[in-house]
């Protein structure tokens, strides 16, 4: 069990989350595992939202939301993998849209 206390704008909220693990009686190791999981999760979703505006997406029908999310993750992974251009994901996305040669380079990484 992890209890999170958050103070924001004078309000205090308490959230309790339960986790299942095979780690026995090691609070420090458990806390590090939970923090690292959410750090990875938050950084990926932040990139997807900032670069692809995923939170603004209105696709809601059938399997389309999951398919669109997977395509977005693939795009972010490929753009992140490309190291020649020293720019952020959003700028690389713009370059891919404007330059077919750069698009070929990025797609060749797949």
- Tens of pLDDT, residue by residue, the chain (110 residues): 888 888 888 899 999 988 887 877 778 888 887 777 766 666 677 778 777 888 888 888 999 888 988 888 898 889 989 998 888 888 999 999 999 999 999 999 88
pLDDT value of residue 41: 64
Q: Cβ-count burial of 31 within 10 angstroms (0-12 exposed, 13-18 middle, 19+ buried)?
A: exposed
pLDDT value of residue 21: 79
Q: Is residue 83 within 8 Å of residue 92, measured between CB atoms?
A: no
pLDDT value of residue 42: 63
Which residue reads 């069990």 in tokens? 1
Measured over all CA atoms, what is the biggest interatomic distance in the chain, rounded to whole angstroms? 55
Pairing state between β 2-8 and 11-17:
antiparallel
Q: Is residue 85 within 8 Å of residue 95, measured between CB atoms?
A: yes
């Amino acid at each position: 069990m992890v209890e999170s206390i958050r103070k924001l704008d004078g309000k205090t909220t308490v959230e309790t989350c339960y986790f299942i693990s095979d780690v026995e009686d090691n609070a420090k190791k458990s806390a590090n595992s939970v923090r690292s999981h959410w750090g990875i999760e938050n950084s990926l979703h932040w990139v997807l939202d900032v670069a692809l505006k995923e939170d603004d997406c209105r696709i809601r029908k059938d399997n389309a939301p999951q398919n669109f999310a997977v395509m977005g993750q693939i795009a972010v992974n490929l753009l992140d993998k490309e190291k020649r251009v020293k720019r952020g994901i959003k700028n690389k996305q713009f370059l891919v849209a404007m330059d077919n040669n750069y698009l070929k380079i990025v797609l060749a990484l797949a």
